[in-house]
Amino acid sequence: MIEVEDLLFTYESDGFTLRVPDLAVEDGAKVAFIGPSGSGKTTLFHLLAGILVPHSGRISVAGREVSGLPDAERRRFRIGTIGMIFQDFELLDHLTVRENILLPYYVNRALTLDGGVHERVEELARALGIGSYLRRRPAALSHGERQRAAICRALVTEPALVLADEPTGNLDPRNTDVILDLVFRLVEKRGTTFLMVTHDHSLLDRFDRTIDFMDFLPEAER
Amino acid sequence: MRHTLRLSLRYLLHYRLRTAILVVCIGLIFFLPIAVSLLVDHFRREMGARAARIPLIAGAKGSRYDLVLNALYFRGRVPDPLPRSAYEAIRDGGLGFPVPVYVRHTVKGFPVVGTTLDYFSELGLTVREGTLPLRLGDAVAGAKAAEALGLSAGGRVITDVEKLYDISSTYPLRLRITGILAESHSPDDGAIFVDVKTSWIIDGIGHGHVSPKEAKETSNILQKKEGEVVFNDALVKYVEITPENLASFHFHGDPHTFPLTAVLVWPRDAKSKTILKGRYAVSKTAQMLEPEKVIAELMGFVFRIKRFFDANFVLVIIATALFLALIVLLSLRIRKREMETLMKIGCSRFTVFGLQAAELTIVLAAGLLLAGVLSGATFWYVVQSHMLL
């Protein structure tokens, strides 16, 4: 369960302010976030993930009060609870696909890399159709294949919540459908909550709910 | 730690050209001071050890550095000659044991050292093959000189022509190699030793005669009649002392005035040493030196120069550190996105710093390893090829 109450966050650099009076998402739900660019969708994702800290208000994810946690605790919480997928994949060129998927284990001591994890990598990669590409480098993959690798990396830690920031923004419609099918199958199987930012309104029917960020903007800006 | 190293190595290997350039830069920066330090230390040790084996050196007045370098290492300018009488005076005075040294000639660039058999016993030199030079015209080669000239016992070498276009100068002497010295890791390895009298023959002070009637060489004979032999004027290329002409060799002039370049002296005791030094202190034509002190003085100059070099190296290290810091800062800027990704997936700032530090450490270690290998190879090459001594 995700709960947000009276959230207020302001970027000091440009003065943009995000206000979310009230937001609740049930466990296992698939929710689409829409809204114009600059309306705060990515900012809310970063707040939910504990990358940013709100100036006021309350954020609770999977029963933990994220906003009140100290830095190190918030980072540990993010590692154990949240998987993130980015629009431009953010894979590291110098690592193989397998190493990119295992990256959260390489850089976090809190996670233990054992045989079970390796099996999970194989299983996820097979399910996402990149099972035979694990030894390749990202540069040798197509856009769609790279995004599948990024999805693998987000899911390998078996997070309770996946935050996907326009993961299909760089994909063609056919690849978008294939990727969403695969992600939905995996999150439904594990009961993972899935929040996704998208500008593609044709995809909204496939989600349980849609949250329009226009609702969070002041009347004058809508 | 294992994963940090793995990620760092992956990054460095992926951008191998960039990494190689950095490693080579660091390697070359450290190579020179390490190699110089190794060589200077070796040079100091070797020079000091040689000087410590010979307590005193007598020679003509002049540059003490020239005298010591020529007498001990067979290098540098040939000092003014010291008359043989100086050697005889020390020998007859009973205060020390003298060994004459005459280093003026060369064989294909290798010094020819004229001395007596005492030189070998005093410096503990033994023959690996053959015998020591016992006769006029005999020579024994140091191990390195023999290797370089391809000599073995029974071989022949000709001394270098001193003045090629001066037809009045003496002919080179063809030496008979009677033995090869065992390697001693000293300047003796790179020299050819003859009896001091042989050196004087090379000088032209002594010579032999061949009766035309007994001449065996037929290519120079134009006509041979009863009581008359006519030679052509073909240039004689060298002189050789053979069993047939040995008896004809003789010296002209006063033997007491025959030249030496130095006399190595082993004093009987500390008191004798002091007396010998005192006697020569007032001499206007000769000097008695303690090689160890002269070499220490000489090394003092070398180390003074090295100190400048060391100070320069400190500046180079500072410049390198700044250069590396700049690279790290630029790298952080280029890799900002990568670092952000790592932090988004839960990597701490400490781990990000650890990754950077590990990469830098690996590059530095590889650079230092390269510098070590290059320095070691240079040291080995210089020592093996006797470039210093």
Say if A44 falls within a structural domain.
yes
A93 contacts on B by Cβ (under 8 Å):
14
* One domain, residues B134 and B61: yes
Cβ atoms B276, B265 nearer than 8 A: yes
pLDDT tens for the 389 residues of chain B, in order = 788 899 999 999 999 999 999 999 999 988 988 898 888 888 888 888 888 999 999 999 999 999 999 999 998 888 999 999 999 999 999 899 999 999 999 999 999 999 999 999 999 999 999 999 888 899 999 999 999 999 999 999 999 887 666 666 677 888 999 999 999 988 999 999 999 999 998 888 877 766 666 656 666 677 777 777 776 656 556 778 888 777 778 888 888 999 999 999 999 999 999 999 998 888 889 999 999 999 999 888 888 888 888 888 888 888 888 988 888 888 888 888 888 888 888 888 888 888 989 999 999 999 999 999 999 999 998 887 766 55
H or E element in which residue A20 lies:
strand A17-25
Of residues B182, B175, B99, the one with CA closest to residue B147: B182
Tokens of A157: 């830690």
Question: Which domain covers residue B7, as residue numbers?
Answer: 2-45+300-384
Say if A221 falls within a structural domain.
no
Q: What is the mean pLDDT of chain A?
A: 88
Task: Tell me, rounded to whole angstroms, the distance of Cα B224 from its chain centroid.
Answer: 51
Q: What is the per-residue DSSP string for A149-203?
A: HHHHHHHTT--SEEEEESTTTTS-HHHHHHHHHHHHHHHHHHT-EEEEE-S-GGG
CATH of the domain at A76: 3.40.50.300
Tell me how far apart the alpha carbons of residues A46 and A61 are, in angstroms, rounded to a whole number. 13
B126 Cβ contact list (under 8 Å, min separation 6): B120, B181, B182
Q: Which of B255, B289, B323 is the last residue of a domain?
A: B289
Say if A128 falls within a structural domain.
yes
Q: Which of B289, B311, B334 is the last residue of a domain?
A: B289
* One domain, residues B273 and B350: no
Cβ atoms B55, B266 nearer than 8 A: yes
C-alpha distances (whole Å) from B81 to each of A9, B167, B283 are 97, 24, 15
* One domain, residues B72 and B30: no
Of residues B138, B81, B73, the one with CA closest to residue B110: B73
B299 Cβ contact list (under 8 Å, min separation 6): B44, B47, B48
Task: Tell me, rounded to whole angstroms, the distance of Cα B62 from its chain centroid.
Answer: 22
Say if A222 falls within a structural domain.
no
Can you give the C-alpha Rg of chain B in angstroms? 31
Average pLDDT rounded to a whole number, residues A13-24: 86
Q: Can you give the pLDDT at residue B55?
A: 93
SS3 label, residue B138: strand
* One domain, residues B82 and B211: yes
Question: Regarding predicted confidence, which is higher, A174 or A105?
Answer: A105
- By C-alpha distance, the chain B residue nearest A107 is B347
**Alpha helix stretches (DSSP H) within B204-348:** 270-281, 291-334, 336-344
- C-beta atoms of A103 and B338 within 8 A: no
Say if A116 falls within a structural domain.
yes
Tell me how far apart the alpha carbons of residues B146 and B190 are, in angstroms, rounded to a whole number. 8
pLDDT cut 70: percent of chain A above it: 98
Q: Of A90, A106, A108, which is closest to B6 when you measure between CB atoms?
A: A106
B335 Cβ contact list (under 8 Å, min separation 6): none
Q: What is the per-residue DSSP string for B173-238?
A: EEEEEEEEEPP-SSGGGG-EEEEHHHHHHHHTSEE----GGG----TTEEEEETTEEEE--PPP--
pLDDT in tens, A27-39: 999 999 998 888 8
Say if B294 falls within a structural domain.
no
Residue of A52, A75, A94, A105 for testing the chain B interface, max B β-carbons within 10 Å = A94
Tell me which of A11-15, A207-211, B25-29, B278-282 is least confident: A11-15
Q: Can you give the pLDDT at residue A101?
A: 94
B15 contacts on A by Cβ (under 8 Å):
94
- C-beta atoms of B7 and A107 within 8 A: yes
Say if A75 falls within a structural domain.
yes
Domain total in chain B: 2
Q: Please tell me if residue B336 touches chain A, with a CB cutoff of 8 Å.
A: no
- By C-alpha distance, the chain A residue nearest B353 is A107
Can you give the C-alpha Rg of chain A in angstroms? 17
Kindly state the DSSP code that residue B32 receives in the 8-state scheme: H
Tell me how far apart the alpha carbons of residues B262 and B45 are, in angstroms, rounded to a whole number. 23
SS3 label, residue B164: coil
C-alpha distances (whole Å) from B206 to each of A163, A182, B143 are 104, 106, 29
Question: Regarding predicted confidence, which is higher, A221 or B269?
Answer: B269
Average pLDDT rounded to a whole number, residues A63-73: 85
pLDDT in tens, A122-178: 998 998 888 899 999 999 998 888 988 999 999 898 899 999 988 887 778 887 888
Tell me how far apart the alpha carbons of residues B44 and B372 are, in angstroms, rounded to a whole number. 20
Strands A2-10 and A56-61: antiparallel
Cβ atoms B347, A112 nearer than 8 A: no
CB atoms within 10 A of CB B199: 28
Tell me how far apart the alpha carbons of residues B350 and B366 are, in angstroms, rounded to a whole number. 24
Q: Which of residues 289-318 of B touch A (CB under 8 A)?
A: none
Q: Interior CA angle at B118 toward B115 and B123, to 5°? A: 95
Say if the ipTM goes beyond 0.85. Answer: no
* One domain, residues B126 and B158: yes
* One domain, residues B37 and B152: no
Cβ atoms A210, A199 nearer than 8 A: no
A86 contacts on B by Cβ (under 8 Å):
341, 344
- C-beta atoms of B15 and A94 within 8 A: yes
* Residue A128 distance to chain B (closest CA, Å): 20
* One domain, residues B197 and B316: no
* One domain, residues B205 and B127: yes
Tell me how far apart the alpha carbons of residues B12 and A94 are, in angstroms, rounded to a whole number. 9
* One domain, residues B11 and B80: no
* One domain, residues B13 and B145: no
CB atoms within 10 A of CB B221: 14
Question: Which domain covers residue A45, as residue numbers?
Answer: 2-216
Q: Which of B289, B318, B344 is the last residue of a domain?
A: B289
What residues of A are in the B interface, CB distance below 8 Å? Answer: 49, 51, 72, 75-76, 78-79, 84, 86, 90, 92-95, 99, 103-108, 110, 113, 153
Kindly state the DSSP code that residue B79 receives in the 8-state scheme: P
Domain total in chain A: 1
SS3 label, residue B97: strand
Phi/psi for B49 (5° steps) reads: -65, -40
Strands A209-212 and A30-34: parallel
- By C-alpha distance, the chain A residue nearest B340 is A90
For tokens 């979310």, name the residue: A20
- By C-alpha distance, the chain B residue nearest A83 is B345
Please say whether the dihedral angle defined by the alpha carbons of residues B386, B312, B324 and B330, taken in this order, is positive or negative.
Answer: negative
* One domain, residues B232 and B362: no
